[in-house]
Structure 1
């Protein structure tokens, strides 16, 4: 049975690469194995949810070098570093730049599988958040300029009558705008609207500038 998740395995040690890839496939993961970081950059295609299981010390390009390149490319796939020997500053640097875990060879199998499962779960939740953000921003763009004004005041906690005064209109008109805002933003409550607005940072949306 195939697990929901993809593993990019990168290690220049052929014996480790073959044995680890075989074991992870037998456990049901979809595994792509690469003998170098440059080959991974050249041939891999981003998928999600996934995790990059990355050897820290490799001759052509170190794990940190690859992490740096992936960050510049905008990759959000979580990275687990694996290493037989690493200096503390390398570990700190990798974790500061977003690596989700660091395992030392020879590692405990249960420890590896937990780290992989956690990273894939994290990437799945990350993908869901990004998808929700795209949908929320698309909904926001569908609002008219006046509806966006009303939305902004609603999020700030103003009542219909107060918004009417701010915009120089009637309470009844604001009620109509509010209903349209809630419908277009797919918000079933004011709390839901505020949550969507803040999580997607709609206050800084280009349409507001």
Structure 2
């Protein structure tokens, strides 16, 4: 039975790739292995949920170099670094840049499987959050310019009458706009509207 999860294994050591691939496939994961960061960048297609098992010390392009390239192109697949030897500053830098775990060779299978499972769960949550954000932005795009203004002031905590003064209209008109905002944004309370607005960074969307 195939587990829900895709593993990109990047290591210049062929024997390590072979043994890790076999172990991970045996427990049900889909595994793609690459002998270098360059090969990975040229031939891999993003899927989710997924995890990159990445050797830190590789010739030409190191694990840290690849991590930085992926950050630049906006590829958010979580990374678990594996390393025979690494300097403390490399470990710190990789974690600061978002690596979810760091394993030292030789590691046992249980530690590897736990790191992989945690990274895949992280990617599932990340995917869910991004999908939710896309839906929210789509809903927000259906608002008229005036409804977006009303939405903005609702999020800022203003009452209908205060928004009416801000926008030079009546309380009754703002009530109509507010009802439409709540309906189009698929929310039943201002608190939920605020949460959606902030989580999806809609203020920046509104200002662009």
TM-score using structure 2 length: 0.96
Measured on the aligned residues, the alpha-carbon RMSD in Å equals 1.1
User: In structure 1, what is the equivalent of residue 184 of structure 2?
Assistant: 184
Q: Distance in 2 between matches of 1:22 and 1:93?
A: 30
How far off its partner does 1:208 sit? 3.1
The match for 1:155 is 155
* TM superposition shift of 1:67: 1.1
Aligned to 1:12: 12
How many Å apart are 1:197 and its aligned residue? 0.6
1:79 CA displacement: 0.6
Q: Give the Cα–Cα distance (whole angstroms) in 1 for the partners of residues 8 and 65 of structure 2.
A: 16
Q: Secondary structure at the match of 1:7?
A: strand
Q: Which residue does the alignment assign to 2:35?
A: 35
List aligned pairs for 1:43-54, cutoff 5 A: 43-54=43-54
Partner of 1:106: 106
Aligned residue number for residue 126 of structure 2 = 126
Q: Find the aligned partners of 2:149 and 2:28 in 1 and give their Cα distance.
A: 51
Aligned to 1:208: 207
Cα deviation for residue 130 of structure 1 reads 1.0
TM-score computed with the length of structure 1 as normaliser: 0.96
Q: Aligned equivalents of 1:121 and 1:156: distance in 2?
A: 34
1:39, distance to aligned residue in structure 2 (A): 1.0
**SS of residue in 2 equivalent to 1:174:** helix
Q: Quick check: 1:199 aligned with 2:195? A: no
Distance in structure 1 (CA, Å) of the matches to 2:6 and 2:151: 40
Gap runs ≥5 in structure 1: none
> Secondary structure in 1 aligned to 2:47?
coil
- Other-structure match for 1:96: 96
SS at match of 2:153: helix
**TM superposition shift of 1:71:** 1.4
- Distance in 2, matches of 1:169 and 1:198, equals 26
In the alignment, the residues of structure 1 paired with residue 53 and residue 194 of structure 2 have an alpha-carbon distance, to the nearest angstrom, of 38
Counterpart CA distance in 2 for 1:10 and 1:4 is 20
Alignment size in residue pairs: 208
- Structure 2 counterpart SS, 1:40: helix
1:137-152, aligned counterparts within 5 Å?
137-152=137-152
CA offsets 1:113-171 (integer angstroms, 9 cap, x no match): 11111101101111111111111111111111110111111111111122122222222
